């Protein structure tokens, strides 16, 4: 029987990695991620998880170790944050280009300088074009489930998968999480089977991997990564349906909250969604027809689904806890580009909030809604609460 436990977002990741029968873990400590791999190192040292834990001298090496492990067909995992993820950047390209189904948990932390340990999304979103799938989480239960679903999808489409959780607001927050039994997880995600067709390193038959490729061939390698992402969207949708059938928790490419008859929509991601839901429920009591669209899957991006859900609304506000410098909020860019092909489309307003872990309250969200309702001209970037 599965059981519920009051636990942090970080430990929810550790338990999910355990549940997923990961075979190789390699990581380098960094706040606020460290607790993930601390608990995993204990679980491995106690022999509860039959895995190899590789200590390394940097995040670049941690991803390199995962790449080596995954290239042999092993199920590999790492976790990091901010500067650590940035240091991995080169290897992130390598993992995706080599088509290795590694899962990485990134605890969203603002990039330095100036130094910060608090949350925003720029670290993960800066990895947008590396070829990794990305999913954003609102609760510790979502975090736990995302790791298991992540491996299931990644291994079918042969792409790496990044699950993202907010620093402190999830990583260090304790709340109830249903931990599945090994038998239950095995039913959905069987132990990794050796797959010599795609993954094998034979010491008696040494080969080179990822070597110099001429312009006559390289182009098609990139095309195939894109095709894999397009396929991943379908595989993800199928797997979350199967997950819901078995475990009763339904996940989509996004979550719709009070959207059925909504004229106005707040597009959110990650933990500030909870505050947005609370604010929207209050605004509904005042008669404002508003709802929340919580983005989950960021790569592959669900363009068609976005058009279907947002196309007919009066106004859309995208709330970004990130900034694409010299452009706009990053989710804003994506939502706006998704709506462009429609002949009739709503104006989309872009709000920036909560960067560097500044607290986001339901009152802040109500302010955003007030502001959006008043505006007649579409506005692409509005910074909430800047103090100068």
Partner 1 sequence: MIEIRMHGRGGQGAVVASKILADAAFRDGMYVQSFPQFGVERRGAPVTAFNRMGNPDEIFVRSQIYEPDHVLVLDPTLLLTVDVLKGLKPGGWVVINSPRDPEDFYKEFNFSRDYKVATVDAASIAVKWGLGSKTQPIVNTAILGAFTRVTGIVTLESLKEAIRENAPIKKEENVNAAVEAYESVKFPKEE
- The binding site for partner 1 (CB under 8 A) comprises 4, 6, 117-118, 167-169, 172-176, 271-272, 274-275, 277-278, 281, 357, 359-362
Looking only at Cα atoms, what is the longest distance across the chain? Answer: 72
Q: Are 78 and 25 in contact (CB under 8 A)?
A: yes
Nearer CB in complex with partner 1: 73/357: 357
Collect all residues with Cβ–Cβ distance below 8 Å to 190 and sequence separation of at least 6: none
Nearer CB in complex with partner 1: 127/171: 171
Using alpha carbons only, give the angle 131, 137, 139 rounded to the nearest 5 degrees. Answer: 160
Compute the least distance from the CB of residue 174 to partner 1, in Å: 4
- Residue 338 and residue 335: Cα distance in Å, rounded? 5
- Residue 182 and residue 179: Cα distance in Å, rounded? 9
Nearer CB in complex with partner 1: 160/357: 357
Compute the least distance from the CB of residue 278 to partner 1, in Å: 5
Compute the least distance from the CB of residue 109 to partner 1, in Å: 11
- Residue 311 and residue 313: Cα distance in Å, rounded? 6
Compute the least distance from the CB of residue 287 to partner 1, in Å: 19
Nearer CB in complex with partner 1: 94/118: 118
Nearer CB in complex with partner 1: 122/141: 141
Compute the least distance from the CB of residue 144 to partner 1, in Å: 16
Q: Name the pairing type of β-strands 24-27 and 52-55.
A: parallel
Residue 250, Cβ density class (10 Å: 0-12 exposed, 13-18 middle, ≥19 buried): exposed
Nearer CB in complex with partner 1: 149/170: 170
- Residue 95 and residue 97: Cα distance in Å, rounded? 6
Nearer CB in complex with partner 1: 278/303: 278
Residue 138, Cβ density class (10 Å: 0-12 exposed, 13-18 middle, ≥19 buried): buried
Compute the least distance from the CB of residue 332 to partner 1, in Å: 21
Q: How far apart are the first and last CA of the chain?
A: 55
User: How many CB atoms are located within 10 Å of the residue 18 CB?
Assistant: 20
Collect all residues with Cβ–Cβ distance below 8 Å to 286 and sequence separation of at least 6: none
Compute the least distance from the CB of residue 172 to partner 1, in Å: 6
Compute the least distance from the CB of residue 119 to partner 1, in Å: 8
Cross-strand bridge partners of residue 108: 166
- Residue 254 and residue 268: Cα distance in Å, rounded? 10
What is the H or E stretch that residue 298 is in?
strand 297-299
Q: Are 176 and 5 in contact (CB under 8 A)?
A: yes
Nearer CB in complex with partner 1: 272/310: 272
Nearer CB in complex with partner 1: 274/379: 274
Compute the least distance from the CB of residue 352 to partner 1, in Å: 17
């Amino acid at each position: 029987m599965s059981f519920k436990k009051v636990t942090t977002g970080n430990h929810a990741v550790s338990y999910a990695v355990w549940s997923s029968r990961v075979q190789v873990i390699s990581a380098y400590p960094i706040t606020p991620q460290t607790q993930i791999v601390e608990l995993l190192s204990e679980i491995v040292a106690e022999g509860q998880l039959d895995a190899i834990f590789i200590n390394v001298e940097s995040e670049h090496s941690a991803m390199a170790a995962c790449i080596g492990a995954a290239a042999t067909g092993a199920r590999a995992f790492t976790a990091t944050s901010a500067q650590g993820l940035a240091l991995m950047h080169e290897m992130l390209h390598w993992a995706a280009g080599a088509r290795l189904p590694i899962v990485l948990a990134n605890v969203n932390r603002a990039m330095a300088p100036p130094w910060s340990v608090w949350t925003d999304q720029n670290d993960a979103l800066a990895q947008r074009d590396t070829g990794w799938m990305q999913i954003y989480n609102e609760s510790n239960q979502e975090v736990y489930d995302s790791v298991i679903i992540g491996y299931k999808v990644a291994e079918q489409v042969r792409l790496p998968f990044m699950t993202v959780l907010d620093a402190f607001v999830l990583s260090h927050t304790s709340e109830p999480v249903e931990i599945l039994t090994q038998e239950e997880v095995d039913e959905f995600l069987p132990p990794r089977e050796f797959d010599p067709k795609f993954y094998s390193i034979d010491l008696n038959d040494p080969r080179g991997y990822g070597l110099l490729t001429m312009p006559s061939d390289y182009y098609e390698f990139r095309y195939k990564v894109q095709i894999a992402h397009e396929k991943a969207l379908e595989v993800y949708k199928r797997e979350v349906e199967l997950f819901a059938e078995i475990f009763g928790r339904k996940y989509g490419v996004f979550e719709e909250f009070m959207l059925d008859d909504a004229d106005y929509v707040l597009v959110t991601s990650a933990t500030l969604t909870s505050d947005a839901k609370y604010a929207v429920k209050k605004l509904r009591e005042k008669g404002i027809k508003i709802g929340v669209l919580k983005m989950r899957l960021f790569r592959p991006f669900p363009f068609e689904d976005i058009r279907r859900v947002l196309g007919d609304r009066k106004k859309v506000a995208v709330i970004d806890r990130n900034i694409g410098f010299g452009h706009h909020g990053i989710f804003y860019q994506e939502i706006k580009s998704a709506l462009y092909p429609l002949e009739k489309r709503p104006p989309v307003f872009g709000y920036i909030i909560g960067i560097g872990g500044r607290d986001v309250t339901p009152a802040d969200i109500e302010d955003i809604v007030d502001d959006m309702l008043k505006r007649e001209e579409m506005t692409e970037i509005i910074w909430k609460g800047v103090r100068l």
